Amino acid sequence: MGSILEVRDVSHRFGGLQVLKGVSFDVAPGSITGLIGPNGAGKSTLFNIISGFLTPSVGDIVFLGQTTTDRGIAARSRAGLQRTFQTPQVFRDLTVRENLVAGCHMRGRTGVLEAFFGLPNVRREMADARRRADEIIERFDLGPWREIPAGELPAGRQRMVELARAVMCEPKLLCLDEPSSGLSTTEVQTLMETLERLNADGMTVLLVSHDMKLMEVTSMVHALCFGEIIASGSLHAMRESPRVREAYLGT
Protein backbone atom coordinates (compact mmCIF):
# COMPACT_ATOMS: atom_id res chain seq x y z
CA MET A 1 0.00 0.00 0.00
CA GLY A 2 1.15 3.53 -0.75
CA SER A 3 1.63 6.37 1.70
CA ILE A 4 -1.17 7.76 3.80
CA LEU A 5 0.41 11.22 3.60
CA GLU A 6 2.85 12.64 1.07
CA VAL A 7 4.52 15.98 1.62
CA ARG A 8 5.70 16.96 -1.85
CA ASP A 9 8.35 19.56 -2.29
CA VAL A 10 6.75 22.02 0.15
CA SER A 11 8.25 25.49 0.54
CA HIS A 12 6.83 28.32 2.59
CA ARG A 13 7.74 31.91 3.26
CA PHE A 14 6.36 34.45 5.71
CA GLY A 15 7.11 37.74 3.98
CA GLY A 16 10.83 37.67 3.39
CA LEU A 17 11.43 34.76 5.74
CA GLN A 18 11.88 31.39 3.98
CA VAL A 19 10.67 28.95 6.62
CA LEU A 20 10.39 25.71 4.60
CA LYS A 21 12.56 24.78 1.63
CA GLY A 22 11.54 21.88 -0.61
CA VAL A 23 10.40 19.53 2.14
CA SER A 24 9.41 16.06 0.92
CA PHE A 25 8.64 12.93 2.92
CA ASP A 26 6.01 10.20 3.16
CA VAL A 27 4.13 8.79 6.11
CA ALA A 28 3.62 5.04 5.79
CA PRO A 29 0.17 3.74 6.77
CA GLY A 30 0.19 2.15 10.20
CA SER A 31 3.38 3.91 11.25
CA ILE A 32 4.18 6.32 14.03
CA THR A 33 6.36 8.78 12.16
CA GLY A 34 8.31 11.45 14.01
CA LEU A 35 9.46 14.92 13.05
CA ILE A 36 12.25 16.47 15.10
CA GLY A 37 14.29 19.63 14.78
CA PRO A 38 15.55 22.58 16.79
CA ASN A 39 13.31 25.53 17.76
CA GLY A 40 12.19 27.49 14.74
CA ALA A 41 13.03 24.68 12.31
CA GLY A 42 9.54 24.95 10.76
CA LYS A 43 7.82 21.93 12.34
CA SER A 44 4.62 23.71 13.42
CA THR A 45 4.46 25.57 10.11
CA LEU A 46 4.61 22.24 8.31
CA PHE A 47 1.83 20.91 10.57
CA ASN A 48 -0.30 23.94 9.72
CA ILE A 49 0.24 23.21 6.04
CA ILE A 50 -0.55 19.50 6.42
CA SER A 51 -3.77 20.21 8.35
CA GLY A 52 -4.94 23.07 6.11
CA PHE A 53 -4.40 26.06 8.41
CA LEU A 54 -1.88 27.39 5.90
CA THR A 55 -1.51 27.04 2.14
CA PRO A 56 2.12 26.45 1.18
CA SER A 57 3.84 28.94 -1.12
CA VAL A 58 4.98 25.95 -3.21
CA GLY A 59 4.32 22.21 -3.15
CA ASP A 60 1.52 19.77 -2.40
CA ILE A 61 0.01 17.75 0.40
CA VAL A 62 -1.39 14.41 -0.74
CA PHE A 63 -3.64 12.62 1.75
CA LEU A 64 -4.86 9.09 0.96
CA GLY A 65 -3.75 9.51 -2.63
CA GLN A 66 -5.67 12.78 -3.16
CA THR A 67 -4.10 16.19 -3.54
CA THR A 68 -5.55 18.15 -0.63
CA THR A 69 -3.40 21.29 -0.77
CA ASP A 70 -6.41 23.47 -1.56
CA ARG A 71 -8.95 21.73 0.64
CA GLY A 72 -10.09 23.34 3.89
CA ILE A 73 -9.54 22.19 7.46
CA ALA A 74 -13.03 20.70 7.82
CA ALA A 75 -12.77 18.74 4.55
CA ARG A 76 -9.45 17.25 5.69
CA SER A 77 -10.94 16.42 9.05
CA ARG A 78 -13.87 14.62 7.39
CA ALA A 79 -11.41 12.73 5.21
CA GLY A 80 -9.72 11.42 8.38
CA LEU A 81 -6.97 13.88 9.27
CA GLN A 82 -6.92 15.35 12.79
CA ARG A 83 -4.32 17.47 14.54
CA THR A 84 -3.61 18.84 17.99
CA PHE A 85 -1.81 22.08 18.79
CA GLN A 86 1.44 22.98 20.49
CA THR A 87 -0.70 25.01 22.94
CA PRO A 88 -3.66 22.78 23.83
CA GLN A 89 -6.96 23.98 22.34
CA VAL A 90 -9.99 22.91 24.35
CA PHE A 91 -13.45 24.42 24.79
CA ARG A 92 -12.67 25.91 28.20
CA ASP A 93 -16.27 26.33 29.41
CA LEU A 94 -17.41 22.89 28.30
CA THR A 95 -16.95 19.85 30.51
CA VAL A 96 -14.48 17.15 29.52
CA ARG A 97 -17.34 15.02 28.24
CA GLU A 98 -18.90 17.89 26.30
CA ASN A 99 -15.52 18.60 24.72
CA LEU A 100 -15.43 15.06 23.38
CA VAL A 101 -19.04 15.08 22.18
CA ALA A 102 -18.41 18.41 20.40
CA GLY A 103 -15.32 16.87 18.81
CA CYS A 104 -17.28 14.13 17.13
CA HIS A 105 -20.04 16.36 15.75
CA MET A 106 -18.40 16.54 12.37
CA ARG A 107 -18.61 12.77 12.05
CA GLY A 108 -22.38 12.78 12.31
CA ARG A 109 -24.52 12.77 9.21
CA THR A 110 -27.34 14.69 10.83
CA GLY A 111 -28.20 18.01 9.23
CA VAL A 112 -28.48 21.33 11.04
CA LEU A 113 -32.29 21.49 10.77
CA GLU A 114 -32.72 17.96 12.12
CA ALA A 115 -30.42 18.86 15.00
CA PHE A 116 -32.45 22.02 15.65
CA PHE A 117 -35.77 20.18 15.81
CA GLY A 118 -34.31 17.33 17.87
CA LEU A 119 -35.48 14.58 15.51
CA PRO A 120 -35.03 10.93 16.58
CA ASN A 121 -31.87 10.24 14.57
CA VAL A 122 -30.32 13.28 16.25
CA ARG A 123 -31.12 11.92 19.65
CA ARG A 124 -29.70 8.56 18.62
CA GLU A 125 -26.53 10.16 17.29
CA MET A 126 -26.10 12.21 20.47
CA ALA A 127 -26.59 9.13 22.62
CA ASP A 128 -24.00 7.26 20.51
CA ALA A 129 -21.60 10.17 20.84
CA ARG A 130 -22.00 10.28 24.61
CA ARG A 131 -21.41 6.54 24.86
CA ARG A 132 -18.27 6.78 22.74
CA ALA A 133 -17.11 9.79 24.74
CA ASP A 134 -17.45 7.79 27.96
CA GLU A 135 -15.42 4.91 26.50
CA ILE A 136 -12.65 7.24 25.40
CA ILE A 137 -12.73 9.10 28.73
CA GLU A 138 -12.01 5.78 30.46
CA ARG A 139 -9.24 4.93 27.99
CA PHE A 140 -7.58 8.28 28.68
CA ASP A 141 -7.98 8.04 32.47
CA LEU A 142 -10.13 11.18 32.46
CA GLY A 143 -13.02 9.65 34.44
CA PRO A 144 -12.62 11.78 37.60
CA TRP A 145 -12.77 14.99 35.51
CA ARG A 146 -15.66 14.02 33.22
CA GLU A 147 -18.02 16.78 34.46
CA ILE A 148 -15.34 19.45 35.09
CA PRO A 149 -14.98 22.42 32.69
CA ALA A 150 -11.85 21.70 30.65
CA GLY A 151 -10.48 25.21 31.30
CA GLU A 152 -10.17 24.40 35.01
CA LEU A 153 -7.83 21.45 34.42
CA PRO A 154 -4.03 21.70 34.59
CA ALA A 155 -2.25 22.00 31.23
CA GLY A 156 -1.20 18.34 31.11
CA ARG A 157 -4.76 17.14 31.58
CA GLN A 158 -6.08 19.64 28.99
CA ARG A 159 -3.64 18.08 26.55
CA MET A 160 -5.15 14.66 27.19
CA VAL A 161 -8.65 16.13 26.65
CA GLU A 162 -7.53 17.61 23.34
CA LEU A 163 -6.03 14.28 22.29
CA ALA A 164 -9.14 12.38 23.40
CA ARG A 165 -11.32 14.78 21.39
CA ALA A 166 -9.19 14.19 18.28
CA VAL A 167 -9.50 10.42 18.81
CA MET A 168 -13.32 10.80 19.01
CA CYS A 169 -13.25 11.66 15.30
CA GLU A 170 -11.61 8.28 14.57
CA PRO A 171 -8.90 9.82 12.40
CA LYS A 172 -6.91 7.73 9.96
CA LEU A 173 -3.98 10.08 10.52
CA LEU A 174 -3.46 11.85 13.83
CA CYS A 175 -0.94 14.72 13.83
CA LEU A 176 0.34 15.75 17.26
CA ASP A 177 2.42 18.89 17.85
CA GLU A 178 4.50 18.56 21.06
CA PRO A 179 1.89 16.45 22.86
CA SER A 180 4.12 15.81 25.90
CA SER A 181 4.96 19.40 26.79
CA GLY A 182 3.55 20.21 30.22
CA LEU A 183 3.14 16.51 31.06
CA SER A 184 4.74 14.83 34.07
CA THR A 185 7.00 11.79 33.60
CA THR A 186 4.12 9.47 34.50
CA GLU A 187 1.77 11.29 32.13
CA VAL A 188 4.34 10.93 29.31
CA GLN A 189 4.46 7.20 30.03
CA THR A 190 0.65 7.04 29.81
CA LEU A 191 0.74 9.05 26.59
CA MET A 192 3.27 6.64 25.07
CA GLU A 193 1.14 3.63 25.99
CA THR A 194 -1.97 5.36 24.64
CA LEU A 195 -0.29 6.17 21.31
CA GLU A 196 0.99 2.61 20.98
CA ARG A 197 -2.48 1.25 21.66
CA LEU A 198 -4.13 3.61 19.14
CA ASN A 199 -1.47 2.65 16.62
CA ALA A 200 -2.02 -1.07 17.26
CA ASP A 201 -5.72 -0.42 16.56
CA GLY A 202 -4.77 0.96 13.14
CA MET A 203 -4.27 4.71 13.62
CA THR A 204 -1.32 6.27 11.83
CA VAL A 205 0.43 8.98 13.85
CA LEU A 206 2.65 11.90 12.87
CA LEU A 207 4.42 13.20 15.93
CA VAL A 208 6.37 16.42 16.41
CA SER A 209 8.36 16.49 19.63
CA HIS A 210 11.55 17.56 21.34
CA ASP A 211 10.96 14.79 23.86
CA MET A 212 13.36 11.98 22.94
CA LYS A 213 11.70 9.65 25.45
CA LEU A 214 8.33 10.09 23.73
CA MET A 215 10.01 9.68 20.34
CA GLU A 216 10.81 6.08 21.27
CA VAL A 217 7.31 5.15 20.01
CA THR A 218 8.28 6.10 16.43
CA SER A 219 9.40 3.71 13.71
CA MET A 220 10.67 6.44 11.39
CA VAL A 221 11.96 9.95 12.10
CA HIS A 222 12.65 12.93 9.84
CA ALA A 223 14.92 15.70 11.09
CA LEU A 224 14.11 19.24 10.01
CA CYS A 225 16.64 22.05 10.32
CA PHE A 226 16.16 25.60 9.00
CA GLY A 227 13.25 24.38 6.89
CA GLU A 228 15.04 21.43 5.27
CA ILE A 229 15.00 17.70 5.91
CA ILE A 230 18.60 16.93 6.87
CA ALA A 231 18.24 13.27 7.83
CA SER A 232 15.68 10.44 7.96
CA GLY A 233 15.80 7.07 9.67
CA SER A 234 15.23 5.33 12.98
CA LEU A 235 15.42 7.37 16.20
CA HIS A 236 18.65 5.54 16.94
CA ALA A 237 20.09 6.56 13.57
CA MET A 238 19.05 10.19 14.25
CA ARG A 239 20.84 10.10 17.61
CA GLU A 240 23.99 8.86 15.88
CA SER A 241 23.76 11.24 12.90
CA PRO A 242 26.51 13.87 12.91
CA ARG A 243 24.23 16.22 10.92
CA VAL A 244 21.46 15.97 13.50
CA ARG A 245 23.88 16.41 16.39
CA GLU A 246 25.33 19.46 14.71
CA ALA A 247 21.83 20.92 14.14
CA TYR A 248 20.94 20.52 17.81
CA LEU A 249 24.25 21.35 19.39
CA GLY A 250 25.57 23.80 16.82
CA THR A 251 28.96 22.11 16.91
Ligand X SMILES: Nc1ncnc2c1ncn2[C@@H]1O[C@H](COP(=O)(O)OP(=O)(O)OP(=O)(O)O)[C@@H](O)[C@H]1O
CA distance 22 to 171: 27
Does 17 interact with ligand X (rule: CB under 6 A)? yes
**Least separation, in Å, of the C-beta of 28 and Mg ion?**
23
- Restricted to residues 81-110, the positions that interact with Mg ion (CB under 5 A) are 86
**Least separation, in Å, of the C-beta of 55 and ligand X?**
13
Which residue from 3, 33, 45, 158 is in contact with ligand X, where contact means CB under 6 A? 45
CA distance 129 to 169: 10
Does 40 interact with ligand X (rule: CB under 6 A)? yes
**Least separation, in Å, of the C-beta of 212 and ligand X?**
14
Does 14 interact with ligand X (rule: CB under 6 A)? yes
**Least separation, in Å, of the C-beta of 19 and ligand X?**
4
Q: Which letter, b or e, does each residue of 67-78 get, where b requires 16 or more Cβ atoms within 10 Å of its Cβ?
A: ebbebeeeebbe
Does 87 interact with ligand X (rule: CB under 6 A)? no
Does 157 interact with ligand X (rule: CB under 6 A)? no
Does 37 interact with ligand X (rule: CB under 6 A)? yes
Secondary structure in 3-state letters for the chain? CCCCEEEEEEEEEECCEEEEEEEEEEECCCCEEEEECCCCCCHHHHHHHHHCCCCCCEEEEEECCEECCCCCHHHHHHHCEEECCCCCCCCCCCEHHHHHHHHCHHHCCCCHHHHHHCCHHHHHHHHHHHHHHHHHHHHCCCHHHCCCEHHHCCHHHHHHHHHHHHHHCCCCEEEEECCCCCCCHHHHHHHHHHHHHHHHCCCEEEEECCCCCHHHHCCEEEEEECCEEEEEECHHHHHHCHHHHHHHHCC
Binding mask 91-110 for ligand X (x = CB under 6 A): --------------------
**Least separation, in Å, of the C-beta of 99 and ligand X?**
24
Does 44 interact with Mg ion (rule: CB under 5 A)? yes
Choose the binding region for ligand X from 40-48, 73-81, 123-131, 196-204 (rule: CB under 6 A). Answer: 40-48
- Closer residue to Mg ion, CB minimum distance, 26 or 177: 177
Does 81 interact with ligand X (rule: CB under 6 A)? no
**Least separation, in Å, of the C-beta of 58 and ligand X?**
16
- Closer residue to ligand X, CB minimum distance, 17 or 113: 17
Residue 35 binding result from ligand X, Mg ion, none, given CB thresholds of 5 to 8 Å by partner type: none
Q: Which residues bind ligand X (CB under 6 A)?
A: 14, 17, 19, 37, 39-45, 86
